Amino acid sequence: MTPREEPGFVESLAKRESIGPNASIWLNLPMLGNVSSQSYWGRVVVEVWENGESSFHTTYMDQPRKTAFLLEKAMRALQNANTPVLTTTPWSNEPLGVMPGQSLQAFQGRVVVEVWDDQATVAITGTDEQSDLAKRAVQKIIQMIRMIH
Can you give the residue range of the structural domain that contains 122? 32-148
Burial class (CB in 10 A: 0-12, 13-18, 19+), 106: exposed
Q: Per the domain annotation, does 23 fall within a domain?
A: no
- Taking residues 36-64, what's their average pLDDT? 85
Confidence of residue 3 (pLDDT cuts 50, 70, 90): very low
0.85 cut: is pTM over it? no
Q: Per the domain annotation, does 39 fall within a domain?
A: yes
Rg of the Cα trace of the chain? 15
What gap in Å lies between CA 40 and CA 63, rounded to an integer?
Answer: 17
Greater pLDDT, 16 or 25: 25
Q: Per the domain annotation, does 82 fall within a domain?
A: yes
Q: Per the domain annotation, does 43 fall within a domain?
A: yes
Confidence of residue 72 (pLDDT cuts 50, 70, 90): very high
Task: Determine the Cα angle at 56 with ends 120 and 139, to 5°.
Answer: 75
Number of domains forming the structure of the chain: 1
Q: Which of 20, 17, 77 has the alpha carbon at shortest distance from 44?
A: 77
Q: Per the domain annotation, does 44 fall within a domain?
A: yes
Instruction: Give tens-digit pLDDT for 97-121.
Output: 665 555 667 888 999 999 999 999 9
Kindly tell me if the per-residue pLDDT of 59 is higher than 80. Answer: no
What gap in Å lies between CA 67 and CA 34, rounded to an integer?
Answer: 21
Q: Per the domain annotation, does 12 fall within a domain?
A: no
Q: Which of 64, 59, 65, 69 has the alpha carbon at shortest distance from 30?
A: 59
Kindly tell me if the per-residue pLDDT of 4 is higher than 50. Answer: no
Q: Per the domain annotation, does 24 fall within a domain?
A: no
How long is the chain? 149
What gap in Å lies between CA 142 and CA 128, rounded to an integer?
Answer: 21
Kindly tell me if the per-residue pLDDT of 54 is higher than 80. Answer: yes
With H, G, I as helix, E, B as strand and everything else as coil, classify residue 119: coil
